[in-house]
Amino acid sequence: MTQSAAVAQEAPAVNQPILHVENLQKAYHGQEVLKSVDFEIRKGQVKAVLGPSGSGKSTMLRLMALLEPSDGGSIKLRGETIGTKEHRGRTVHLPERLLARQRQDIGMVFQKFNLFPHLPAVRNVMLGLTSVKGVSHHEARELAMEMLQRVGLENRAEHYPSELSGGQQQRVAIARALVLNPSVMLFDEPTSALDPELVGEVLDVMENLAADGMTMIVVTHEVRFASRVASEVSLFDGGVIVEQAAPDQFFNNPKHERTKRFLSHVH
For residue 2, give every residue at least 6 positions away whose Cβ sits within 8 Å of its Cβ, in sequence order, or none: none
Contact yes or no for 109/186 (Cβ under 8 A): yes
Q: Which of 16, 25, 36, 58 binds Mg ion (CB under 5 A)?
A: 58
CB of residue 237 to Mg ion, shortest distance in Å = 13
CB of residue 90 to Mg ion, shortest distance in Å = 31
Contact yes or no for 46/216 (Cβ under 8 A): yes
C-alpha pair distances (Å), 184 with each of 45, 153, 176, 240, 251: 10, 22, 14, 21, 25
71 binds ligand ADP (CB under 6 A): no
**Which of Mg ion, ligand ADP, none lies near 53, with the C-beta cut-off 5 to 8 A by kind?**
ligand ADP
CB of residue 200 to ligand ADP, shortest distance in Å = 23
Q: Which of residues 40-69 bind ligand ADP (CB under 6 A)?
A: 51, 53-59
Q: With CB under 5 A as the rule, give the number of residues binding Mg ion.
A: 1
| 91 vs 192, beta carbon nearer Mg ion | 192
CB of residue 68 to ligand ADP, shortest distance in Å = 7
| 51 vs 190, beta carbon nearer ligand ADP | 51
CB of residue 81 to ligand ADP, shortest distance in Å = 23
Q: Which stretch binds Mg ion (CB under 5 A): 26-34, 56-64, 209-217, 227-235?
A: 56-64
Q: Which stretch binds Mg ion (CB under 5 A): 58-66, 121-129, 145-153, 239-247?
A: 58-66
C-alpha pair distances (Å), 74 with each of 160, 161, 244: 39, 37, 20
Contact yes or no for 148/157 (Cβ under 8 A): yes
C-alpha pair distances (Å), 228 with each of 41, 187, 248: 18, 16, 9
Instruction: Report the distance separating Cα 83 and Cα 79, nearest Å.
Output: 13
Contact yes or no for 62/217 (Cβ under 8 A): no
| 28 vs 116, beta carbon nearer ligand ADP | 28
Q: In the chain, which residue ranges form alpha helices assigned H by DSSP?
A: 3-15, 57-64, 96-103, 121-127, 137-150, 166-178, 196-211, 223-229, 247-252, 257-265
| 209 vs 235, beta carbon nearer ligand ADP | 235
Q: Which residues lie near ligand ADP (CB under 6 A)? A: 28, 33, 51, 53-59
Q: Which residues lie near Mg ion (CB under 5 A)? A: 58
